[in-house]
Amino acid sequence: MKLTGKEGFTFMEGGVCAAKGFEANGLNCGLNPNKEKNDLGLVFSSVPCNTGAVYTQNKVKGAPILVTKKNLAATGGISKAIIVNSKNANTCNADGEQKADKMCQLAADALGIKKEEVIVASTGVIGQVLPIEPIEAHIEKLAEGLTVDGNERAATAIMTTDTVKKEVAVEFTLGGVTCHLGGMAKGSGMIHPNMATTLNFVTTDVAISSVLVQKALDEIVKVTYNCLSVDGDTSTNDTLTVMANGLAGNALITEENEEYEIFKEALYIVLMNLTKMLAADGEGATKLLECSVSEAKDLETAITVAKSVICSPLFKCAMFGEDANWGRVLCAIGYADAEFDINKVDVDLASEHGTLQVCRNGAGVEFSEEFAKEVLAADEIFINVSLHDGDVQAKAWGCDLTYDYVKINGDYRS
């Protein structure tokens, strides 16, 4: 997948270690019986970080979310480390909070920091008791192995059914000072709008207040992760955190000025590209789908229509079959909970092979089925919808629905 950027922001390697002062590590502690796969990760900042976070909107919340919320409340939005495991979600367990709190204490002791300065997260099977012993036995090795190039080890430690690691980082300037912002994500299934969807960790060396970190995160999540759907299921453990340690040396951002807008743009670029990576790696997926809605009367309308198209199972199946069944797009637009004139709607299907006009003013237009097959044979498909009702636009991302999705989820616990 090609990264989408903007002038003034340069992509770089490093993920959560791209920013100054951050180290990471990952290893296999035994939660995953496959010793080739990491299942425990750690991220650490040498100085305290102003931190923002968003979580799942599912009524069932994993124990790590409850503990992380409690920790950030106790410190006033300050953190220094993240400890995260895969293979076991530590959700719906009677001892879940106790185990999540213990993970924080283990990390704190190994790092010489306060327990409340630790963010904890878990992902994997729901309803299975998390064994703490493997984590306890490997925490010292995990901490001792922290390095400024350990981002890949951490990124692979959070993977479950993911087929590839997901990392993005950018370099940019604030007031003439070079700054960095990078992140890692995991997610392939159980992904649906309304929060952050999956586990996602972002780090930056920008100096910015906790209040503005949280405000920027809330705004950017709305137009990135909340516009992502793979299968219609919202996870119980979804967590997205942003840690800002200020080591870049820029003047502290405490108001919504030009530098704040630049920070938001950097955050958008990283989260938007991670969102696309999550969509492209949907369980069993063969195609990344991006729906762009333009000329809407307001942002809510644009987002609602884009998400409606991306979430349609019938349309997702049509894209898997490379069938230009544009009626399914109109159907999904039609049941979107928004007000607009369906008789003004235009729809195009596009890819690297060209653009196919399929609908004008709410009605079909003739097109070549042969050319349609060529357009839809690509790995990335763009659904462009014009509402002709204003000047606002928004995007949503998803993937096709394939046979393999059922196979993967038919035996997930094994």
Condensed to tens digits (0 to 9), the pLDDT of residues 228-252 reads: 876 555 667 788 999 999 999 999 9
Whether 197 is a known active-site residue: answer yes
Q: What residues contact residue 410 under an 8 Å CB cut-off, 6+ apart?
A: none
- ∠ CA(119), CA(275), CA(55), 5° rounding? 35
- ∠ CA(63), CA(166), CA(234), 5° rounding? 40
Give the helix/strand (H/E) hosting 406.
helix 403-410
Rounded CA separation 65/103 (Å): 13
- The CATH 3.60.70.12 portion of the chain extends over 10-280
Q: What pLDDT is recorded for position 56?
A: 80
- The CATH 3.10.20.340 portion of the chain extends over 288-410
Q: What pLDDT is recorded for position 192?
A: 57
SS3 116: helix
Q: What pLDDT is recorded for position 232?
A: 57
User: 288-410 sits in which CATH class?
Assistant: alpha beta
Indicate the CATH number of 10-280 among 3.60.70.12, 3.40.50.1980, 1.10.10.10, 2.40.10.410.
3.60.70.12
Q: What pLDDT is recorded for position 67?
A: 97
Q: Which of 354, 344, 310, 343 is nearest to 329 (CA)?
A: 310
Q: What pLDDT is recorded for position 58?
A: 73
- ∠ CA(102), CA(103), CA(106), 5° rounding? 85
Alpha helices by DSSP H, 121-206: 133-144, 151-157
Which positions of the chain have pLDDT values less than 50?
190, 196-197
Distance of CA 290 to the CA centre of its chain: 15
CB neighbours of residue 46 within 10 Å? 12
Which of 56, 91, 156, 197 is flagged as catalytic? 197
Q: What pLDDT is recorded for position 26?
A: 98
Q: Residue 77 is encoded by which pair of tokens?
A: 């939005």
Which tens digits make up the pLDDT trace of 277-307? 887 776 667 899 999 999 999 999 999 999 9
Q: What pLDDT is recorded for position 229?
A: 75
SS3 362: coil
Sheet holding 363-364, edge to edge: 228-229, 392-399, 288-296, 380-386, 346-351, 354-360, 363-364
Asked if 241 and 202 touch (Cβ cutoff 8 Å), the reply is: yes
